[in-house]
Amino acid sequence: MYCESKIWLALSLLFVANYNQNYVHGESKVPCIFIFGDSLSDSGNNNNLATNAKSNFKPYGIDFPTGPTGRFTNGRNTIDIITQFLGFENFIPPFANTSGSDILKGVNYASGSAGIRDESGGNRGAHISLGLQLENHRLIVTQIASKIGGLKKAKKYLSKCLYYVNIGSNDYLNNYFLPEYYPTSTIYTPHQYAEALIQQLTLNLQVLEDVGARKYVLVGLGSLGCTPFHISDGSCFEPLNTASLIFSQKLKSLVDQLNNKTSTNSKFIFLNSTTSALINAKGFTVTTVACCASGSFGECIPDRRPCPNRTEYVFWDENHTTEAWNLVTATIFYNSSYPDSTYPMNIKQFVEQDIKMKLQFISQPGRFYADE
């Protein structure tokens, strides 16, 4: 018994040392982040694609340190800011240009106009659908495996990364609600369509799990009918809001369902992009008009001077929010304690829960090695 408690003490001290090393001395809270999504997260993957869903020109990036990059906003995207909150020194590089970057820290596969369904966004041109983003991830996993000594080691490493999935808007904007291009609204009711999307997403998450993913952040859709592109006479386009809310509710239920599965040790959280914490955000005086002068797709017209007071605007172009709004969103997602915003917990708690699990192992010495 005495001997056992000595071992405990040793393990606890080891743990404290490890804790300090990883979480106090300026290191990131997770070793890596992989990002899947659309223009809300794209950081340059569309720049060389044959599409008009691009943003690598001024005034996009006017508040970004290196100017236009292919981000669809004036500064940082929500996931860029979350990446900084998690302690990363650099942004996660786009898959289209990982040269000079450390892919062990993660890759951003997001592509403007992409959806869960392959055809979504095709009206805008080429894009990297969720399925193709996963194929790109498999290529990266192969590269990681050869860097760190095989697939088994790679999978163990990859199980510690965060997988951020923010996709689905274009399955509505650039599919279901574009009947002149797509027949989906004649085939499915909004409930059936949301269900079909969730089923396809679930299969994709399974593919991710097969290559090591265990920690997933799933983001619900925004108020798609309330963007300047869709607001008319001061009113939101409610059918779009109603349909996309059905998807978000099903996504939240999926999180419960997958967290309850005892056969895997994967963990999921849901983030609510229309949470009242966000809707009630202070300081935004312009909520229905874009900051930049916008063209026929709602995109910024090249080289026009945008509004000077960008922190007062919710919208940068007619479809995408400003960095100021993204900062509020990222802050809520990262450390809100309101279950309507982050479910069942926020990102900070999600990445710190491993520490708690290790502590439990320490107080139950027999089980300690189960962690390995």
Ligand X SMILES: *[C@@H]1O[C@H](CO)[C@@H](O)[C@H](O)[C@H]1NC(C)=O
As annotated, the active-site residues are: 39, 317, 320
Q: Note whether 54 and 47 are within 8 A (CB).
A: yes
Minimum CB separation of residue 363 from ligand X in Å reads 23
Residues 195-224 binding ligand X (CB under 6 A) are 220
Among 26, 283, 308, 366, binds ligand X (CB under 6 A): 308
In the DSSP assignment, the letter for residue 274 is T
* Residue appearing with tokens 């062990």: 104
Among 22, 97, 200, 311, binds ligand X (CB under 6 A): 97
Q: Which CB sits closer to ligand X, 80 or 299? A: 299
Question: Cα-flanking dihedrals φ and ψ of residue 307, to 5°?
Answer: -60, 145
Residues 40-59 binding ligand X (CB under 6 A) are 53
Residue 4 lies near ligand X (rule: CB under 6 A):
no
Smallest CA-to-CA distance from 137 within 168, 170, 164 is with 164
Smallest CA-to-CA distance from 176 within 161, 195, 189, 165 is with 189
Q: Tell me, residue by residue from 145 to 184, as one string, x for binding to ligand X by CB under 6 A and - for no binding.
A: ----------------------------xx----------
| E-strand stretches of the chain | 33-37, 162-166, 215-219, 267-271, 342-343
H or E element at residue 130: helix 130-148
Residue 77 lies near ligand X (rule: CB under 6 A):
no
Stretch that binds ligand X, among 8-16, 144-152, 157-165, 327-335 (CB under 6 A): 327-335
Q: Which CB sits closer to ligand X, 276 or 364? A: 276
Residue 274 lies near ligand X (rule: CB under 6 A):
yes
In angstroms, the CA 44 to CA 99 distance is 13
Smallest CA-to-CA distance from 136 within 144, 124, 148 is with 144
Smallest CA-to-CA distance from 40 within 311, 333, 365 is with 333
Q: Which CB sits closer to ligand X, 297 or 361? A: 297
Minimum CB separation of residue 234 from ligand X in Å reads 16
Measuring CA to CA, how many Å separate 266 from each of 163, 211, 216?
A: 11, 12, 8
Amino acid identity of 270?
Answer: F
Residue 232 lies near ligand X (rule: CB under 6 A):
no
Residue 309 lies near ligand X (rule: CB under 6 A):
yes
In angstroms, the CA 274 to CA 253 distance is 16
Residue 316 lies near ligand X (rule: CB under 6 A):
no
Minimum CB separation of residue 50 from ligand X in Å reads 15
DSSP 165-205: EE--HHHIIIIIT-TTT--HHHH--HHHHHHHHHHHHHHHH
Q: Which CB sits closer to ligand X, 124 or 215? A: 124
Number of residues that bind ligand X (CB under 6 A): 36
Among 51, 175, 275, 322, binds ligand X (CB under 6 A): 275
Among 298, 311, 352, 361, binds ligand X (CB under 6 A): 298
Residue 334 lies near ligand X (rule: CB under 6 A):
yes
Strand 33-37 to 215-219 pairing: unpaired
Residue 297 lies near ligand X (rule: CB under 6 A):
yes
Smallest CA-to-CA distance from 62 within 296, 307, 252 is with 307
Residue 239 lies near ligand X (rule: CB under 6 A):
no
- Contact residues toward ligand X (CB under 6 A) are 39, 53, 85, 97, 99-100, 124, 173-174, 220, 229-230, 248-249, 252, 256-257, 260, 272, 274-276, 285-286, 297-299, 308-309, 312, 317, 319, 331, 334-335, 340
